Amino acid sequence: MSIWNSEKKAVLEAAQQMAQKGLVVGTSGNVSMRISEAGGRQLLAITPNNRYYDLLDVDDIGIVDFQGECVEGELTSSIETMLHIGIYKARTKVNAVIHTHPVFGSILSVIGAEIPPILDDQVTYLGGEIKVAEYSLPGSQELVRNAVPALGPRNAVILANHGTVTVGRDMREAFTNCEMLEKTARIYIYALGAGKIKPLPTDALEMEKAYFNYLHGESS
């Protein structure tokens, strides 16, 4: 049994859950978890590339270092491995990353529309407005360069013509944020269809962002 079995199991369960909930189709999407070793080495457990999640077992989840090199596992790691690594390097409090292709988040990715801060829970869970990263080919270094700044200090980002990424301090939080982003995207699209958007009051937005930054800010 791997010494990282618990992290690999958490990644597998989240990946299978995102498929079951329809947040991805087929082999799309990817999930990872940071592993911080006592000696300071940073690793991540991550889903393999181009594999159906219902057919995976714990041993199929690979361990990769922050240079993208395989430490444990027989399968090729996700095409988006360097995106996950880029997020972990930029956000020291983030310990789980989930990339999905959900319907409503993907609609916004196609029309290039960021989500303004419209809901209390959007701000307290995700950090405020959700930006759209400029289009880049999947698996490219350009995607890392575009997505990480668009994510910024928040817990979610939309990837143009691609999908969404959410992060969290642990896997449960990252998955909750994944569902929160899709819920928020759905509400925003319906509200646009209704013809009127009422933003959050400025004072409430400032208070909720302060609360979010207290929990998730890198300097806190």
From 7, 80, 179, 208, the catalytic residue: 80
Average pLDDT (148-153) is 98
CATH of the domain at 26: 3.40.225.10
Q: What is the pLDDT of residue 219?
A: 64
**Binning pLDDT at 50, 70 and 90, where does residue 196 land?**
confident
How many structural domains compose the chain? Answer: 1
Q: Does the pLDDT at position 131 exceed 70?
A: yes
Please say whether the beta carbons of 74 and 50 come within 8 A.
no
Question: Cα angle at 206 between 201 and 207, to 5 degrees?
Answer: 100
Domain that holds residue 177: 5-216
Q: What is the pLDDT of residue 1?
A: 75
The pTM for the full model equals 0.97
Q: For this structure, is 80 an active site residue?
A: yes
Question: Cα angle at 145 between 141 and 148, to 5 degrees?
Answer: 120
Which residue has better confidence, 1 or 6?
6
Q: What is the pLDDT of residue 38?
A: 86
